[in-house]
Structure 1
Amino acid sequence: MLKSLSVRVLIALVAGLGLGAAAAAFGGEGLRGVVEGVESIGTLWLNGLRMTVVPLLFSVLVVGIASVADAAATGRLAMKALAWFLFFVLVGCAWTIAFGYGFYALFPVSETGAAALTAGAPPPPPEVAASPSFGAFVKSLAPTNPVKAAAEDSILPLVVFAGFFAFAVTRLPEPRRVALTEFFDSISGAMVEIVRWVLWAAPIGVFALGLGVGLRAGVGAAGIIGHYIVAVVLAQIGITVFAYVVAVVVARVPFWTYARALAPVQVTAFATQSSIACLPAMIEQSRDALKVPDRVTGLVLPLAVSVFKLTSAVANIGVAIFVANVYGVEPQPMQWLAAVIIAVAMSVASVGLPGQVSFFMSTGPICLALGLPLELLPILIAVEVIPDIFRTLGNVTGDMAVTAILAKDHEPDPDVDAETRPALG
């Protein structure tokens, strides 16, 4: 059990919070000074993660968008699948923002706990409070200097530039296209390796940060973290239920048929927390239980696992909403639009990355787009094992929903024997 990084980090967080709270309650000023000194190690560890965000973000976006463009070129079925993927992700983003505002209106974050939790973190920059006009937002999309945008953590212009660059790469002759794609794939691989090294020290870094949080927030920090877990999990359950409804209504699959087909896949998702590991079960259940043609399962499900994560955008925006509530920040509509664009891009780019890597790489840019500090993210990584279960459950549910929809809408291939094309419903 202790071989799991998630378990070790969670233990480190609990130990750090507990010792920090004990130092606050029973220790003198000398002990508090020692704890604050140890906390600086956690800040160093956080900076180790932050230094990889921009190069990893740009490289995975180039590779991810180029792969989506290649998939779209394979035919009309792939284009329909990508359109449905985009629809689900956009609905998920809208749902999460609406749910988040409603949830925190009914169950607000404790002001005392939030103040203690953020006492050692830098405040959000003052420009967060300013609402950019639509014209200013549009003008900011194209960076006049991409290098400067990267240096200043101007994430949305960087994402836009990466998108244009990636599509331009797909227009190059194949040898150059392959060479550039492999180059950026190698960069992302190197960045992931650096993040793996940093995450190897995650128990130490999270323990050090947890000491500081426990020193300032005491045992109340556990309640705030529990508040976060409930909010993010409920948001993911909501979009998962939506995927059920769409599969039943649009694909006209009987509810119990779809539920029985999904059950073995969801058990695998719960156990592995990996959509890729669920692919064989998804193919088998779609083909045998839902009677999806092999041509659809053979294209849509591998494509879904490669470029579609329904709950990633939901969870990532959910994290940003929690951080905004902790800091008492009210992002403006144009900032939320930027966050949604980045969340959609990250849902493609982060596919295939390890869970802890994709968490920081996906949520960090969204928080930066909203002008939020990243200091709380390492604490949230420690409890990501719980929301990650629901991420995977939602992802596989969405994958099979799109597959069922496209099977119902699928135009038979005249070269395929009719016996291999049973209909749904």
Structure 2
Amino acid sequence: MNRAALRILCGLALGLVGGSIMAGRAGATPILAVTASIGRLWLDALTMTVVPLVFSLLVTGILGAAEDARQSRVALRAMLWFAALLAGGCLAAAMSTTLLLQLWPVGDAAASLRPEGAVPAFGGAADWISGIIPTNPIKAAAETAMVPLVVFALFFGFAAARIPAELQRALQLLFRAIAETMLVVVHWVLIVAPLGVFALAFGLGVRAGADSVGVLVHYIVTVASACLLILILAYAAVFVFGRLSPLRFAKAALPAQIVALSTQSSLATLPAMIEAAPGLSVGRASAGIILPLAVSIFRGASAAANIAVALYLAALYGQVPSPGMLVIGALAAAAVSLAAVGLPAQVSFFATIGPVCLALGVPVELLPLLLAVETIPDLFRTVGNVTADMAVLRLAGREKPALAAGGESG
């Protein structure tokens, strides 16, 4: 755990303990008024960066991916597998998380965690479909309407990939500058994250007391389950489509998974994944194309975990998504995962989960508190991401049987 994460965790712990101690006391009300204002200001400062940051990162991510796909057929195959596994994994995670929360609900303690005010309701899938294309993208951005904004960003990015190369470079430079500027603002806001999290956690402690700890543990298990599901789906995809036995895939993937668990970084695991390529009957040349691309833009487990976080927050507010809204949330999580390219964990947590919550109409007030305990789910995210990367390595880069080194089982 790095120092920044430790400071945020300390802010969470102090806020929960302080709030629990002050619960029911006469002096709690004026203190709560101050901490609520501080927490609200900090959260608003963080939220104001979401729209320009996500739009810029989506456009630059699409332009970069399109360029890579044009340069190599192997890269194009990898891109297609990225898209298929992202969409399928997010849909599976959305359904499994909803089922898990029905079988193991958040409980009565959730009611005390909600900030005061009316509980928002999910819109219908029909309403979403009618508003998916923004008639005024600027208005959509001003209203933080993330689904139409993401759709516009995808159209914009794919269209930009068809214009002359010199104009593409100009757009990439412009949106990269916007994204980098927003990242500076986010880093400024995160400097005072311990104070903001303390202020939000204090109110949580006053409302829920010790029950809040149980809810956080429940949250960790829920998100970790979504990541483990992606790991299982990666093994299944390799077995069904890659024609490789789960045992052989597990043997090849284990060293990289151990590195991922110890470093919590897909990028740091890249050398170990490249070393595993021969065990998957993939040439090093193909691995040298697929794996750098995978660690840059493909985060299968993270995207699945993001929809799980949004659905968990919905459950805390007593919201029950319809099947149509589950599909919407899953596709939004898959698309927005491109916005995590090259971002630090704390920044990507807000940049990728915030838009999914906003797309579903789920309030984000409790999201910073979940960031404080993100270190544990992040272990499962990284292992799941690395396993999915290696699955795509096999699926997109495997050698033909006549050229493969060694036989294949399964």
State TM-score, norm by structure 1.
Answer: 0.91
Aligned to 1:71: 68
What is the one-letter code of the residue matched to 1:338? I
Structure 2: runs of 5 or more not aligned: none
Paired position in structure 1 for 2:385? 395
Q: Is residue 251 from structure 1 mapped to residue 242 from structure 2 by the alignment? A: yes
Are residues 184 and 18 of structure 1, via their aligned partners in 2, closer, same or farther at CA, if it must alter by over 3 Å?
same
Cα separation, partners in 2 of 1:394 and 1:45, compared to 1, 3 Å: same
State the match for 2:112 in structure 1. 116
Alpha-carbon distance, 1:409 to partner: 5.6
Q: Is the 8 A contact 2:123 2:361 kept in 1?
A: no
Measured at CA, do residues 147 and 131 of structure 1 come closer, stay the same or move farther in structure 2, by a change above 3 Å?
Answer: same
Contact 2:303 2:333 in 1 (8 A): yes
Q: Which residue of 2 aligns with 1:309?
A: 299
Aligned with 2:27: secondary structure? helix
CA distance 1:337–1:99, shift in 2 (3 Å)? closer
Q: Say yes or no: does 1:348 pair with 2:342.
A: no
1:159 counterpart residue number = 150
2:290 is matched with 300
Q: Distance in 2 between matches of 1:31 and 1:342?
A: 40
Letter in 1 for 2:326: W
Structure-1 separation of matches of 2:33 and 2:68: 51
Equivalent position of 2:258 in the other structure: 267
Aligned pairs for 1:16-95 within 5 A: 16-24=15-23, 28-95=25-92
1:362 to partner: Cα distance = 0.8
Q: CA deviation at 1:132?
A: 4.2
Give 1:351 shift.
2.2
CA distance in 2, matches of 1:79, 1:124: 44
TM-aligned CA deviation for residue 123 of structure 1: 3.4
| Distance (whole Å) between structure 1 residues aligned to residue 119 and residue 355 of structure 2 | 14
Paired-residue identity, %: 44
2:370 counterpart residue number: 380
Q: Which amino acid aligns with 1:116?
A: S
Q: Deviations over 1:155-203 (max 9, x none)?
A: 1111111111112222222221101111101111111111111111111
Which one is further off, 212-221 or 239-248? Answer: 239-248
2:149 corresponds to 1:149: no
- Following superposition, the deviation at residue 37 of structure 1 comes to 1.3
Following superposition, the deviation at residue 406 of structure 1 comes to 2.5
The 8 Å contact of residues 45 and 205 in structure 1, kept in 2 or not, is answered as yes
One-letter amino acid of the structure 2 residue matched with residue 407 of structure 1: G
* 2:202 pairs with 1:219: no
Aligned to 1:415: none
CA contact (8 A) 1:407 1:424 kept: no
CA contact (8 A) 2:301 2:384 kept: yes
- Paired letter, 1:387: P
C-alpha distance in 2 between matches for 1:232 and 1:315: 6
Q: Is residue 147–residue 359 contact of structure 2 (8 Å, CA) maintained in 1? A: yes
Q: What do the CA deviations read for 1:268-295 (whole angstroms, capped 9, x no partner)?
A: 21122111111111111213x3342122
Task: Report how many residues are paired.
Answer: 408
Contact between 2:283 and 2:398, CA under 8 Å: does it hold in 1?
no
* Deviation digits for residues 74-120 of structure 1 (CA, Å, limit 9, x no counterpart): 23322221111112112211211221121111111112x11110034
Specify whether residues 355 and 297 from structure 1 end up closer, same or farther in structure 2 by C-alpha distance, changes over 3 A only.
same
Task: Give the 3-state SS of the residue equivalent to 1:292 in structure 2.
Answer: coil
State the Cα deviation string for residues 98-155 of structure 1 (Å, max 9, x = none): 21121111111112x11110034x4344xx344242xx54432221111100111111
Name the structure 1 match of 2:10: 11
Q: Which amino acid in structure 1 is aligned with residue 210 of structure 2? A: V
Q: Does 1:358 align with 2:340?
A: no
- 8 Å CA contact retained: 1:23, 1:31: yes
Q: CA separation of 1:58/1:130 partners in 2, compared to 1, >3 Å: closer, same or farther?
A: closer
In structure 2, C-alpha distance between the alignment counterparts of 1:151 and 1:16, rounded to whole Å: 32
CA apart distance, 1:411: 9.2
**Partner residue, 1:280:** 271
Structure 1 match to 2:99: 102
The CA distance in 2 between the partners of 1:21 and 1:314, in whole Å, is: 33
Change (3 A) 1:196 1:423: farther
Q: Distance in 2 between matches of 1:115 and 1:270?
A: 35
Q: 1:405 to 1:130 in 2, by over 3 A?
A: closer
Alignment partner of 2:280: what SS?
coil
What amino acid does structure 2 have at the position aligned with 1:115? A
Contact 1:407 1:423 in 2 (8 A): no
Tell me if structure 1 keeps the 8 A contact 2:280–2:398.
no
Amino acid at match of 1:50: T
The gaps in structure 1 that reach 5 residues or longer are 413-417
Q: 1:267: Cα distance to partner?
A: 1.8
Deviates more, 1:69-78 or 1:266-275: 69-78
